[in-house]
Structure 1
Amino acid sequence: MTKTALITGASRGLGAALAEALCPTHHIIAVGRTTGALEELDDRIQARGGAATLAPMDVATPEAMAVLCRGIHDRWGRLDLWLHCAIHAAPLAPADHVDAKDMEKSVACNVTATATLITYVAPLLGQSGQAVFFDDPRAGEKFFGAYGASKAAQIALARSWAAEAAKNGPKVHILTPDPMPTATRARFFPGEERSNLADPHGQAAAVIAQL
């Protein structure tokens, strides 16, 4: 039976690297907001002999996520892996200058969507599946108010789920990859020397080795 891997935030960065790394052994369900980037990912997956289902959706739209998860159930009946890479990176700003719309979008994508997806995906994973979340501990750092607070809340949700599921599954992992030259990081550190950062494909291999 074909193994399945749902990757939310698969269009670029670590999500795309994970999709490419897993495609020889899993059917990839790739969720992202950028259709063109997903199509390019699909080309790379096919070149490696793999197969993918592309889902150009916003994880912050609960109706879309419900349709997606229902489709996974109807087609495969289950899910082996969920890797949650989707994130909204609000512009850096002092805490007393955080834009209300940026904060609202951060909470919607990083917190509310994660909570909603856990309720939808958990039944698909059952007792034997695995979920993976990626920490980026910025809470309390200067100018990271919106991102740091919402990312910390996301990881708090994941830690609660991991504790609750420790005995009966699914297995919930919370990993902290090395800094990578992603678009998200470029927004935070635009003048950074990117050649010193970790290769996303190397980080993807390290993630898979821990599953």
Structure 2
Amino acid sequence: MTDLHDFPIALVTGASRGLGAAMAEALAPTHHVVAVARTVGGLEELDDRIRAAGGQATLAPMDITTRDAMAQLCRSIHDRWGQLALWIHTAVHAAPLSPADHVDARDLERSIATNVSATGILIPYVAPLLGLEGQAVFLDDPRAGEKFFGAYGATKAAQIALARSWQAETARTGPRVHILAPAPMATATRARFFPGEDRETLAHPRDEAARLLASLG
């Protein structure tokens, strides 16, 4: 039987719920998952599910917008395992829908901090851990320019623009950077964006996690 400590290491940022949690669970049979999120309870529930299925995870309850915490996390990964095989970045701040002329300043600041600044900080921190052979995954949600999606759409687009630049820069050298497009899912975030939508028509995060991970090859 394979020692779980010999498994490749996968970092999942935004792992406490939704697609991030589903990705972490889907990876657990073949990877040791480092699960990052602010919500301690969500991480603990994730850990329970992973352990019940025979896997192991390392929980890192922290805010990705805290630069020192992210630096310490990446240093700890380096010191303990030396490298990462995979980074999946699902953490996002989904600001409430609002007309552009009514966007709350605090929501905009948090959107910029979480969706843009943290991504710009994490890429140079995580890249050395991935080396040339690792893979990074970002999830696109193209809402830029849609009415009422000002804060979310603009900052999510900026995040993906950063990822696309990194993808182009590393195309010949590695790591491999993937920008994937999930199908509409029955998540709490989508329920806030589209109240009253028929959730029976939406994909389950567990199914989308399996589909997206299979596309990595």
TM-score range normalised by the length of the shorter chain: over 0.9
In structure 1, what is the Cα distance between the partners aligned to 2:27 and 2:52?
13
Q: Could you tell me which residue of structure 1 aligns to residue 100 of structure 2?
A: 95
Gaps of 5+ in 2: 1-5
In structure 2, what is the Cα distance between the partners aligned to 1:18 and 1:89?
19
Q: 3-state DSSP class of the match of 2:25?
A: helix
Deviation at 1:112, TM superposition (A): 0.2
Identity of counterpart residues, as a percentage?
Answer: 72
In structure 2, what is the Cα distance between the partners aligned to 1:55 and 1:172?
23
Aligned residues: 211
Residue of 187, 197, 212 corresponding to 1:207: 212
Question: What per-residue deviation string (whole Å, max 9, x for no partner) do you get for residues 79-130 of structure 1?
Answer: 0000000000111111111111111100000000001000100000000000
Deviation at 1:34, TM superposition (A): 0.7
Q: Segments of 4+ in structure 1 off by > 6 A? A: none
Query: What is the root-mean-square deviation in Å for CA atoms of aligned residues?
Result: 0.7
1:14 counterpart = 2:23: no
Q: TM-score, normalised by structure 2?
A: 0.96
**Paired AA for residue 76 in structure 1:** W
In structure 2, what is the Cα distance between the partners aligned to 1:67 and 1:45?
24
Of residues 178-187 and 137-146 in structure 1, the stretch that sits farther from structure 2 once superposed is 178-187
Q: Could you tell me which residue of structure 2 aligns to residue 121 of structure 1?
A: 126
Gaps of 5+ in 1: none
In structure 2, what is the Cα distance between the partners aligned to 1:192 and 1:161?
35
1:174 counterpart = 2:179: yes
Q: Could you tell me which residue of structure 2 aligns to residue 165 of structure 1?
A: 170
In structure 1, what is the Cα distance between the partners aligned to 2:189 and 2:116?
17
1:156 counterpart = 2:161: yes
Q: Could you tell me which residue of structure 1 aligns to residue 116 of structure 2?
A: 111
1:25 counterpart = 2:39: no
Q: 3-state DSSP class of the match of 2:200?
A: helix
Q: 3-state DSSP class of the match of 1:40?
A: helix
